[in-house]
Amino acid sequence: MPVVDYAALPEFPMRAGITGKWITSHEHGATTTSVLSNTVEPGVAVPKHFHEYEEIVLVEEGRIWVELGDTRVFAAPGQAVIIPPRTPHAWGTEGPGMARVLFVWPVLEPFAPGKSTYFEGAPPKVS
């Protein structure tokens, strides 16, 4: 049973204003679930997209907004947003500070071709 010291993992740039690190991956011994940590600068947003599977967003620090269709919700530390499969959504930081967010998907490589669709812009860099 691997123990991942994710505080020690290096971050990599994913898109402008967002860095990430994979907490679970093939390299860490995961077989069915992905967990990604993002550090997000103030005012940064991710364009509308959807995934073929459920996505859970957990806020560790800061405040974010998530748009699901015409509805915008806000989440703060200790809160989670559950996004159903194939539901178009966008998200970004809310407020003057940065945010730290965890994303959980029930698949490995959630951004692989055919697993996510971006309506605007390109998928994020994943390593």
pLDDT digits (tens, 9 = 90+) for 30-61: 899 999 999 999 999 999 999 999 999 999 99
Residue 75 class from Cβ within 10 Å (0-12 exposed, 13-18 middle, 19+ buried)? buried
Please give the residue range of the domain that contains residue 14.
Answer: 6-118
- pLDDT of 126 reads 87
Tokens encoding 101? 């967010």
pLDDT tier at 1, thresholds 50, 70, 90: low
Question: What's the pLDDT at 2?
Answer: 83
Q: Please count the structural domains in the chain.
A: 1
For 26, the 3-state DSSP assignment is: helix
Q: Is residue 125 part of a domain?
A: no
Residue 102 lies in a domain: yes
Domain assignment present for 126: no
The answer as to whether 127 is a domain residue is no
Exposed / middle / buried, residue 58 (Cβ in 10 Å: 0-12, 13-18, 19+): middle
What's the whole-model pTM score? 0.93
Rounded to the nearest 10°, the torsion over CA 74, 121, 50, 107 is -100
66 within a domain of the structure (yes/no): yes
Q: Distance between CA 66 and CA 114 in Å, rounded?
A: 23
- For the segment 56-84, the average pLDDT, to the nearest whole number, is 97
Higher-confidence residue of 76 and 28: namely 76
- Provide the pLDDT confidence category of residue 27 given band limits of 50, 70 and 90: confident
CATH value at residue 103: 2.60.120.10
| DSSP per residue, 107-123 | SSSTTSTTTEEESSSPP
Percent of the chain with pLDDT over 90: 73
Q: How far apart are alpha carbons 39 and 21 in whole angstroms?
A: 9
Strand-pair category, 64-68 with 12-15: unpaired
Question: pLDDT tier at 15 (50, 70, 90 boundaries)?
Answer: very high
